[in-house]
Amino acid sequence: MKKSLVTSVSLPADTALLWKGKRKEIMKFAERYLRIQMRKQVKREVTRSYNRQLGKKFIIISTRFSSAEYDTFHYIAAALRVSVSSLIYGLIKLWQKPSRRAIRRFFCINYCSVASKWDSEAGFLEEFVTFWFGDDGFTKNHPFSRTT
């Protein structure tokens, strides 16, 4: 059984309603959106940015993710110094483009973390996100997998 994690995200009010109603369908496009985001440079020496916009009312809503989805979004958000809410908002905006929804999905995602040393002396944690080409039958049902 997949472990489901409950967390909260901050989204514009109109977008939050869309996310609540279409979350499963929108998440089918996560691999494409995350691959697009990973074309950006890893950021260091900057503070995290959030998805705030003047004139828009944002609300905080609870949502569920599999542990692999949760860890993958947090890994990419940390590397790019953005909030997970920003990634989810960007994913929703991508999903709203009909031309993007027409493209078939071909990739799967695997998140992996290895703590080779984690104690009061030092911490060595390796995290990986890999994408691989998958047949359409597999990617429709299992876009995320996990290795720990």
Residues 22 and 56: beta-carbon distance below 8 Å: no
Q: Note down pLDDT in tens along the chain; length 148 residues.
A: 467 899 999 999 989 999 999 999 899 888 889 989 998 888 776 666 666 666 778 899 999 999 889 999 999 999 999 999 999 999 999 999 877 666 666 677 888 888 889 889 999 888 888 877 766 544 455 556 555 4
How far is the C-alpha of 53 from the C-alpha of 69, rounded, in Å?
A: 26
pTM, rounded to two decimals: 0.78
What single DSSP character describes residue 29?
A: T
Q: What are the structure tokens assigned to 75, written together?
A: 């890994």
- Other beta carbons within 10 angstroms of residue 63's beta carbon come to 19
How far is the C-alpha of 83 from the C-alpha of 26, rounded, in Å?
A: 18
**What pLDDT score was predicted for residue 63?**
94
Number of H helices, E strands in the chain: 6, 5
**What pLDDT score was predicted for residue 62?**
94
**What pLDDT score was predicted for residue 137?**
47
**What b/e string do you get for 90-106 counting C-beta neighbours within 10 Å, with b at 16 or more?**
bbbebbeeeeeeeeeee
